[in-house]
Amino acid sequence: MSKNQVVVAASKPHTATLIFLHGLGDTGHGWAGTLAVLKPDYVKLICPTASSIPVTLNGGLRMPSWFDLRSLDITIPEDEEGIKTAAQSIHSLIQQEISNGIPAERIVLGGFSQGGALSLYVGLTGDVKLGGVIALSSWLPLHQKIQYEGLNKVSVLQCHGESDPMVQYAFGSLSSKLLKKHLSNYDFKSYSGLGHSSCPEELEDVKKFIVKVLP
């Protein structure tokens, strides 16, 4: 993870934190402005930036990426080592907030696309129970290696555009079906005509989720 991150302080006493991870090739600035507007005023926002690494999917070009993306084909083995290394860096960021006095249940972790995938993995494999996890236009990586027992209380919002040409809707739906089996506080929302992006309706759903889990 890059040392560069965008932090938007709470405008009222800081009682909760939202950590949001960008998608492939983006930076923390990509989502900071949008989320700063919709977050509650008692919530601190942290948008870290991934380190630049060669990405197989893009011909080996270096760009901000949480881990290597080898393909968008679900049959191709994932970058397990990279995913676990990235997860550890996010776990450390969460622990920093806990050390600063914010309980784990007052922390929401979210992300878009690759960042959403990492958020799901971190939220389901960490040693602490977070207040919630948000995954936009993404999927659950390394799903066969996650221990699902005891995860039923984790609150998760997964959102996906039905016209997504990058992370196809069917891919997100597969993750949704798996998560529904193991999580009781899980919600999957889809948006007609939405591609690999966000929309006002989705952002409103994100806002409602944050307020719900971080009252």
Active site residue 79: no
Question: 89-128 burial, b if ≥16 CB within 10 A, otherwise e?
Answer: bbbebbeebeeeebeeebbbbbbbbbbbbbbbbbbbbbee
Active site residue 113: yes
Q: Which of 113, 119, 176, 198 is catalytic?
A: 113
Q: Which of 26, 79, 164, 205 is catalytic?
A: 164
Rounded CA gap, 177 and 172, in Å?
Answer: 9
Q: Which of 51, 91, 196, 197 is catalytic?
A: 196
Q: Which one, of 62, 60, 30, lies nearest residue 48 by Cα?
A: 30
According to DSSP, the residues that pair with 64 across neighbouring strands are 52
Active site residue 89: no
Helix (H) or strand (E) holding 52: strand 52-55
List residues with catalytic annotation: 113, 164, 196
